Chain A
Amino acid sequence: MTLLDIALFGQTAVLMGTPLLLAALGEILTEKAGHMNLGVEGMMLAGAAAGFIAGFYTNSPALAFAAAGAAGAAGALIYAVLTVSLRANQIVTGFVLTIFLSGVANFVGSDLGNSTLGDGFTSVGDGGSFFSSIPFFGPVLFEQSRYVHFSLIMAAAVWIYLNKTSPGLSLRMVGENPSSADAAGIPVTFYKYSHILAGGFLCGAGGACLTLVIVKRWQESATAGMGWIAIALVIFAAWGPLKAVFGAYLFGALRGLSFKIQNAPISIGGRSLSVPAQILDLLPYIMTVVALILITLGKKRENQPPRSLGKPYFREER
């Protein structure tokens, strides 16, 4: 295997990990505000459909991106009204949101089954630039879609926002202890709404990455369970945006690895070992469970979930 082979493998892994990364970043923002939104799969699918429809009719990648994010945010708005203002059960609301948005997305997308995107979408790669000539990292990180670059920038931005800025600190406080935040004069409801909506926007963008970059076509239920892996990724990354980058590319690489080893069994000490693809497919979930156990055992404070995650906040109950 040459360096180029490894680089091409890495390129696929990063591409496959990007929708996961975007959705996971969105879910991190949402959970940091104390809300567990299990509607990620639905919001991704809504973004996938809206992005494709907008891209198909306007032929503009920018408008497609905006439409996808708006669709995800619109889904998140439903969730926010129900769980923040009406204090509905967050788990149930999230599930219902996934089922509802999957239906809507498959309905509005059903007429675009065989449609192809215009020329605006064909050259998503950044080949030929100065950066893409860097060995290994060129093809892996730079000869990629803009969505890959956007997701990496967002990961860094979310990390800085959460850890180095004052609104980020307020947000974490809302997620940890909303009554104290309220007492400190932080507008709790505003923080919850804005971050749930921003989370929805990123989930929608992740979905658009699927239909506009990876599959390049609207397919019914195109996400095929990616939203759930994204939620697992949030736990795997212990709510950290930078760890999520690592986790997303690891999960993406596992997906590519199952194709790689089909015809080239791994040999350890002269004995060839063939790993069934199904085992590789369930590795992300096993790793998430292991990560969760380690987080619980480790008791490291920054790795813990936000303390008020999943709990509705009543000001009167302070």
Chain B
Amino acid sequence: MRKDIFVSFLSVIISTVLIFGALGELKAANAELKPIAKEDIKAAFIYGSPVGKEGYAFAHDKGRRALEQLGYKATALEGIPETTQFEKSVRDLIEQGYNVIYATSFGYGRYVERLADQYPNVYFNHATGDVTKTNLATYMGRLYQSQYLAGIAAALKTKSDKIGYVVSFPIPEVVSQVNAFTLGARSVNPKAVVEVKWTNSWYDPVAESGAGLELVNTGSDVIMAYLDTMSAQIAAAEKGAFAIGCSSSGAEALPKAYLTAPIFDWAKFYTADIERVVKGTWKGEFQFFGLESGVVEIDALTDNNADSAREAVQKAHDAIASGLLDVFAGEIKDNAGKVRVEAGRSLTDEQILTLDWFVEGVVGSIK
């Protein structure tokens, strides 16, 4: 009996020590993020799709290669699904000593949040994310501003006043792109309409070709897609339509049809961001870059464009970059005719990031 009491007493002491020890360690880990010397930085980029030679992941990877050229260690994982596989891959990376993580897909969100709590010494960056912590920053570009400019180029080119737009899923990011594109188009050609087709996938080349063909067959003569590949535009160009690319240039692929593309210059962001880690000025904050920063841009307009396009796009570009023109300034009606933004008002960032209605001029619905 005495022995039993002794054993339980001992175990209580041991567990108390263990618990306090663990708490102490947790506290130590919760200490502030430390700046990392340049040679100790190991950055990891995680992409949802293969890098390939064009598109979203490719644009981010250009940023990664810019870091490598500056002498940083930066690796990439491609085609990681938005599942626990992401979490596992990042854990492996951190165990290998990676200390700056760039998660480039929206769907990684909840896993990034969990990992940020578990590894407080690691810098986490989540593109298009919506949650920040002391060691978790989000970053995204106001690509919709470039979409507005691309819309201008498309509307000046179209003869049928019908522009086709192939998209993936009905999420706010996609809706805001289509809306800004349409507003840009109708700012120079009020008769222009933008017809939307959903592929319900970020990567399905055959479905994209089918959507592109369907749009051309039903009268659109300029085709745009907010997707990783240009399959829709390539299929449509075969039938004589003009093409607007997305995220990277299509000048090489479609010399006779390519007009322009809203593009990212992520190298600008990544090189500045990694310097902040070195200097210790990095903060877990929400970052939203517009045309003024150069992170979002419009590709140089090709000679396939209408004569007046270059001037009109440049004018709008300067107006947006200098803050004179707000893409989402009222009055804006939705495509059912209801006024959504009154004259004199404009959408806030939060409203832009939660958009769930199409502007007037969009043919299509959000299911």
Contact = CB atoms under 8 A, between A and B. Distances in A.
Contacts of B52: 110, 113-114, 219-220
A215 B195 contact: no
Contacts of A219: 52, 205, 229, 231
Given A113-B52, A220-B52, A224-B204, A255 B217 contact: no
B209 A214 contact: yes
Contact of B214 (A110, A116, A215, A256): A256
Contact of A262 (B204, B217, B254, B364): B364
Interface in B24-77: 50, 52-54
B195 A263 contact: yes
Given A114-B253, A263-B195, A263-B363, A9 B217 contact: yes
A260 B214 contact: yes
Contact of A278 (B200, B206, B207, B218): B200
A277 B198 contact: yes
Interface string A251-291: 00001100110110000000000101110010000000000
Contacts of B217: 5, 8-9, 11-12
Contacts of B209: 214-215
A234 interface: no
Contacts of B359: none
Contacts of A15: 213
A220 B210 contact: no
Contacts of A106: 50
Given A9-B217, A259-B214, A224 B206 contact: yes
B101 interface: no
Interface in B310-363: 363
B3 interface: no
Interface range, B side: 35 or more
Contact of A215 (B231, B254, B364): B231
Nearest to A123: B238
A274 B367 contact: yes
Chain A contact residues: helix, strand, loop or mixed: helix
A16 interface: yes
Interface in A196-221: 210, 214-217, 219-220
A215 B206 contact: yes
Interface string A92-135: 00000000000000100010011110000010000000000000
Contact of B205 (A122, A215, A262, A274): A215
A274 B235 CA distance: 27
Nearest to B230: A217
Interface string B142-181: 0000000000000000000000000000000000000000
B235 A214 contact: yes
B229 A277 contact: no
Nearest to A7: B217
Contacts of A140: none
B222 interface: no
Contacts of B367: 274, 276
Interface centre among A8, A114, A263 (most CB of B within 10 A): A114
Interface of A: 5, 8-9, 11-12, 15-16, 106, 110, 113-116, 122, 210, 214-217, 219-220, 222, 224, 226, 255-256, 259-260, 262-263, 274, 276-278, 281
Interface of B: 50, 52-54, 79, 195-198, 200, 203-211, 213-214, 217-218, 229-231, 234-235, 238, 252-254, 363-365, 367
